[in-house]
Structure 1
Amino acid sequence: MSASFPIFAHVWRADAVDHAVAQTVDTAYAALNAVLPGGGWPQGALVEVLQPQAGLYEWGLLAPALAAVQSAQPRQLMVLVGAPCLPFGPALGARQLNMQRMVCVHSKGPALLWATREALQCADVAAVLAWLPDARSAHLRRLQIAAHAHNKLLLVFRPLRAQAESSPAPLRLLLEGVVRDEGNLLVHVLKRRGPPLGAPLLLNTWPPRLAALLAASRERLRRQREEGAPARLPSQVALPVTSPHSPLHALLDRIAHLDHH
C-alpha cells in the first residue's frame, strides 16, 4: 500500500504527535520540546497561553526562545501589544533580551486586534506578543490566518475564563505557578496536534542566578536542620518586607549585585 500511495506517509494520524511542523523555535526546555509538535514553538501559527493573571509567568516561560529569535534575527523587531505593564528592562536584559528591539503598543478594545494584525503583516517584525483578554474565537481565527500567511511567531495571552471557549489555536497552554524544589511553573497542554497530554509539565523558569541563590538557601536550611539549629524562614522574620534589612531585600540586592558583574 505504501509503495502504491507514498503520499500516505505524510498523513498525520490524530493518535500521534504531529512532528511535520514546518518551522519551530526551540523553547529551551527539553521536557516541553518533547511534547510539542515539531519540538518547539510553532512559527506561522497562533500559540494561546492562559494564566490566572497577566504578567505572572509568560516572561519566564518565553524569554529563552525570544532571546534566541532576537539573536538569530538581530535587525528584526519584537512587538508587544496590550502588555499589562511596561516591561522591566533590567530583568529582561538579564535574560538576554534586547530591549532596544522591542516595540510596545498600548491601546484598548478593537484597536488591540488591529495592531496585532498590522504587526503580523510587517516585514520587519519577527515575533508578536499580544495580551487580548476580550478576544473571541472569530478574532483569533483571523490572527491565526495572518500568522500563517506571514510566517510569524505569535503568542496570545488570555485569562483562565477563556478555557471554556473554543479556540482556533493549534497549540493551547495553561500556566500554573507552584513552589517546589524541582520547579516553579506547571504547564498544562490543553490542545496540540496529537493525543491529550495526561499530566502537566513542571518547569524551572527562574533565571540561572536566582535559581542558584534559591538552591543555596535551601541547602543552608537543610544543613541547619541536620545540625539541630533553628532554621528561620523568611515568613518567621519579624522585620517588615518594606524594611531595607528584610530577607527579601537582601536577596534582591544580591541578585542585582550579581547582574552587574
Structure 2
Amino acid sequence: MPQLIWRANQMARYRSATLSSGFRSLDDELPEHGWPRSALIELLLQQPGIGEIQLLKPALVSLSRTRRIALVQPPHLPDVAACRKWGIATGNLLWLPTTGTADALWATEQILRNGSCGAVLLWLSHVRTDALRRLHLAAQSSDTMFWLLRPAANSQDPSPSPLRLVLQPAVAGIQIDILKRRGPQADHSIYFRLSDMPVGPHQDNVKHHARLDRRLPATYSAGSSAAVVV
C-alpha cells in the first residue's frame, strides 16, 4: 500500500512509542515528534555539563514521577538540589558508579533487559561498535528510554543508533545538530537559550543548567556495584 512506502524526504516511523522532548522546535525535527523509546539515543557532547541534562529535563521530570532513572558512570556527582528544584523526583534517581567500561556496559544492559527503570543515562568515552549493537538490542526489548552520552569526537564512528545529536555550547545556550535520524538529513541547527528551557510544574524558572560538576567524594569506592539513591 502507498502509505507503507517510506520516501527519503519523509520522516520515518518508529516501531515503538515516543516521548516528547518538551521543546517544539526539537520535536518538529524528530520522527514521531519525540525521543524514541526502545532505542539507543546518542548525545555527542563537545564537553560534559554544557546543558545536556537541562535538555533532557522535561523527559526526566515526567519519567521520574512513576519510575526510576539510572545514571550510570556520570563524570561528576549529580546536583540533587537542582533536580529537586526542577521537579525531578530525586527518590527515583539511582546513581551507579562503576569500575570501568565493561562494568558500565554490563550494568546498563541488565537495566535495559529487566525493565526496572523508566530511563537510563550512560556516560562513556570509548566503546566498540559491537557493544553498541548489544545495547541497542537490549533497549529494543523494553520500553526504557536510553540515552548514551559520549564525546563529540565519536561522531565519525559507526553506530546502530537511529538518533544521534551533536551538542555544543553557544552564546547563553546550546546548539544541537542532528547527525542522524530516520528521515531526511537535517539541514539546520537548533538553538536553545538555557534560561528559556521549561521546568517542572509549579517551579520557578531556573537560569542555570543541571550541574554534574561536583567531583565524586574521595571516600567513595569506584568499584561499588550498589546503586546509590541521590
TM-score, scaled relative to structure 2: 0.82
Q: Alpha-carbon deviations, 1:135-193, whole Å to 9, x = none?
A: 1211111111100111221000010110111111000000011115xxx1111000000
Residue 52 of structure 2 corresponds to residue 77 of structure 1: no
Say if 2:47 is the partner of 1:53.
yes
**How big is the alpha-carbon RMSD for the aligned residues of Structure 1 and Structure 2?**
1.7
SS of alignment partner, residue 121 of structure 1: helix
Name the CA shift for 1:49/1:20 in 2 (closer, same or farther; >3 Å).
Answer: closer
- 1:188-215 CA deviation, whole Å, 9 max, x = no partner? 000000111111101233356245x9xx
Question: What letter matches 1:13 in structure 2?
Answer: R
Letter in 1 for 2:188: A
1:29 matched to 2:23: yes
Match of 1:130 among 107, 118, 122: 122
> 1:94 — aligned with what?
85
The alignment status of 1:163 with 2:187, answered yes or no, reads no
Distance 2:8 2:49 in 1: 34
Aligned mate of 1:141, from 120, 126, 133: 133
Query: Which residue of structure 2 aligns with residue 15 of structure 1?
Result: 9
- Segments of structure 1 that go 5 or more residues without pairing to the other structure are 1-5, 214-261
1:196 is matched with 185
CA contact (8 A) 2:63 2:118 kept: yes
Residue identity opposite 1:139 in structure 2:
A
**Contact 2:108/2:122 (CA < 8 Å) preserved in 1?**
yes
- How far residue 15 of structure 1 moved from its aligned partner, in angstroms, is 2.1
The CA distance in 2 between the partners of 1:100 and 1:21, in whole Å, is 31
Task: Write the letter of the residue equivalent to 1:14.
Answer: A
Note if contact 2:47-2:168 (Cα within 8 Å) is conserved in structure 1. Answer: no
Q: Deviations over 1:217-236 (max 9, x none)?
A: xxxxxxxxxxxxxxxxxxxx
Unaligned runs of 5+ in 2: 199-204, 209-230
For residues 59 and 5 of structure 2, the distance between their equivalents in structure 1, rounded to whole angstroms, comes to 29
**Whose Rg is larger?**
1
Aligned-pair identity (%): 31
Larger RCO, structures 1/2 (Cα 8 Å, 6+ apart): 2
Deviation at 1:21, TM superposition (A): 4.8
Which residue is 1:185 aligned to?
174
CA distance in 2 between counterparts of 1:176 and 1:31 reads: 17
Distance, in Å, in 1 between the alignment partners of 2:147 and 2:9 is: 26
